[in-house]
Amino acid sequence: MTTTTRLSELNGDYVLDTGRTRIGFVARHRMATRVRGRFDVFEGAVHLDGDDPAASTAQLTIRADSIETGARRRDAQLRKDFLDAATYPLITFASTKVELVGDTTFDVTGDLTIRGVTHPVTVPFELTGTADGVAFAATLTIERARWRVNWNAFTTALVSPTVVLDLQVVVAG
Where is pLDDT greater, at 3 or 108? Answer: 108
- Each residue's pLDDT tens digit, 110-151: 999 999 999 999 999 999 887 677 899 999 999 988 998 876
pLDDT at 157: 55
Q: Residue 165 CB: number of other CB atoms within 10 A?
A: 18
Give 21 or 132, the one with higher predicted confidence: 21
Protein fold of 7-172 = Lipocalin (2.40.128)
Burial of 2 (0-12, 13-18, 19+ CB in 10 A): exposed
Q: What pTM value is reported for the model?
A: 0.90
Return the bridge partners of 143, or none: 162
At 149-167, the pLDDT tens digits run 876 555 555 678 889 999 9
Q: What is the pLDDT of residue 129?
A: 80
Q: Give me the amino acid identity at 156.
A: T
Asked if 150 and 161 count as a contact pair (C-beta separation under 8 A), the reply is no
Q: What confidence score (pLDDT) does residue 1 get?
A: 38
The H-or-E segment that residue 49 falls in is strand 42-49
Q: What are the pLDDT digits (tens) for 48-94?
A: 998 899 999 999 999 999 999 999 998 999 999 999 999 999 999 99
Average pLDDT over residues 14-40: 90
What pLDDT is recorded for position 2? 42
Is the per-residue pLDDT at 4 higher than 60?
Answer: no
pLDDT, tens digit, 9 for 90 and up, residues 67-78: 999 999 989 999
